């Protein structure tokens, strides 16, 4: 479709890629529906904006993709489906453009350059984001790449065969302007740091509990001598545990949970109102474009007799 090929995306060298959490959730859902418990990977299109060397990925959708495991040169990507999907997304949010594509890898494949070349027809400098849907380590399970032309002193013409890795961040680390988007990114950054810290603490606690259990099992089996000092410390730990059967404590937990659910509910309402506002604004913008196209004069060729 012409609507895809005529979009304006900056071709400047990419310095940073920002992937929003909802995009990661959508990609994981795509993988679970199509390729779970298999060696296949899923492929889709990334939507967003590109400005001043930063690619902001805000949305995505899946695309039918097949490849031969034995012959990497044989693959199929339904670009007609991609163009139809983008046309529908364009009617909802005209500000989002194609910025690249994603793959569940978990690593680069031999045919990635060929697939990457296909997206060069839709965006001047597309990015490839590889998402590890089954991460084994803490951190962001994403890696971003873009193609760099590498000229070598050989007889055949230069080819674009080099992929350079970019750093991928979930969200920017600083919020300089007081706007809704920057505030949202700033809060999500704080939320990500808090969740990461709690996850690390819980993993450390789990390791310590497993160590205590292993020690007690060895004492019971008679493989280690009984150490009363260690048992006294363990008893102190158990004595410090709160009694969860107290009515006041149960009520306090319920109130705290209700307060958190209320904040989540209000956030969902605000997000829905903003989405409806953007949808109405997008429809008005499309209507203005249609009126402008209809008002353009039509050149009618004039023929003269000989």
Q: What is the pLDDT of residue 79?
A: 86
Residue boundaries of the structural domains of the chain: 2-169, 180-283
Q: Give per-residue pLDDT as tens, 248-265.
A: 888 888 898 899 899 889
Q: How many CB atoms lie within 10 A of CB 175?
A: 17
Q: How confident is the model at residue 158 (pLDDT cuts 50, 70, 90)?
A: very low
Task: Copy the structure tokens of residue 296.
Answer: 């353009």
Q: What's the whole-number mean pLDDT along residues 135-142?
A: 72
What percent of the chain has pLDDT above 90? 17
In Å, what is the CA distance from 124 to each residue of 6, 12, 93, 207?
A: 11, 9, 21, 49
User: Is pLDDT at 268 greater than 60 in this prediction?
Assistant: yes
In the CATH scheme, what is the code of domain 2-169? 3.40.140.10
Q: How confident is the model at residue 102 (pLDDT cuts 50, 70, 90)?
A: very high
Give the global pTM: 0.58
CB 282 within 8 A of CB 89: no
Helix spans in 165-246 (H): 180-220, 228-240
Q: What's the whole-number mean pLDDT along residues 189-195?
A: 73
Q: What is the pLDDT of residue 64?
A: 94
| DSSP sequence for 29-77 | HHHHHHTTTSS---EEEEEEEEETTEEEEEEEEEE-EEE-SS-TT-EEE
CB 47 within 8 A of CB 57: yes
Half-sphere CA count of 52, side-chain side, radius 13 A: 0
Q: How many CB atoms lie within 10 A of CB 72?
A: 13
Q: What is the pLDDT of residue 162?
A: 35
Q: Give per-residue pLDDT as tens, 44-82.
A: 999 999 888 888 899 999 999 999 888 888 899 998 999
CB 41 within 8 A of CB 103: yes
User: Is pLDDT at 292 greater than 50 in this prediction?
Assistant: yes
Q: Nearest CA to 100 among 46, 171, 166?
A: 46
Q: Give per-residue pLDDT as tens, 210-225.
A: 998 999 999 999 898 8
Q: How confident is the model at residue 85 (pLDDT cuts 50, 70, 90)?
A: very high
The rounded distance, in Å, linking the Cα atoms of 11 and 162 is: 17
User: Is pLDDT larger for residue 104 or for residue 6?
Assistant: 104
């Amino acid at each position: 479709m012409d609507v895809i090929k005529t979009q304006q995306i900056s071709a400047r060298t990419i310095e940073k890629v920002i992937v929003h959490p909802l995009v990661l959730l959508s990609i994981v859902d795509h993988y679970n529906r199509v390729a779970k418990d298999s060696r296949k990977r899923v492929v889709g299109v990334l939507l967003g904006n590109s400005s001043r060397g930063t690619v902001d990925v805000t949305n995505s959708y899946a695309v039918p993709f097949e490849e031969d495991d034995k012959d990497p040169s044989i693959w199929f990507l339904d670009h007609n489906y991609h163009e139809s999907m983008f046309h529908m997304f364009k009617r909802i949010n005209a500000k989002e453009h194609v910025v690249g594509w994603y793959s569940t890898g978990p690593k680069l494949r031999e045919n990635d350059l060929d697939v990457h070349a296909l997206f060069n027809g839709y965006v001047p400098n597309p990015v490839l984001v590889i998402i590890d849907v089954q991460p084994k380590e803490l951190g962001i399970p994403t890696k971003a790449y873009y193609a760099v032309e590498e000229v070598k002193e050989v007889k055949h013409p230069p080819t674009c065969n080099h992929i350079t890795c970019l750093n991928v961040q979930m969200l920017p680390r600083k919020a300089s302007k007081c706007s809704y988007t920057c505030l949202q990114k700033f809060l999500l950054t704080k939320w990500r740091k808090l969740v990461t810290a709690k996850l690390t603490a819980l993993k450390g606690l789990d390791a310590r509990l497993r160590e205590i259990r292993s020690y007690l099992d060895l004492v019971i089996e008679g493989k280690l001598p009984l150490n009363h000092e260690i048992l006294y410390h363990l008893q102190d730990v158990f004595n410090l545990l709160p009694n969860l059967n107290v009515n006041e404590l149960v009520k306090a937990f319920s109130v705290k949970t209700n307060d958190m659910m209320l904040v989540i509910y209000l956030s969902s309402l605000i997000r829905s109102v903003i989405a409806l506002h953007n949808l109405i604004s997008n429809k008005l913008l499309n209507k203005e474009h249609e009126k402008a196209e209809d008002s353009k004069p039509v050149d009618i060729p004039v023929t003269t007799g000989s």
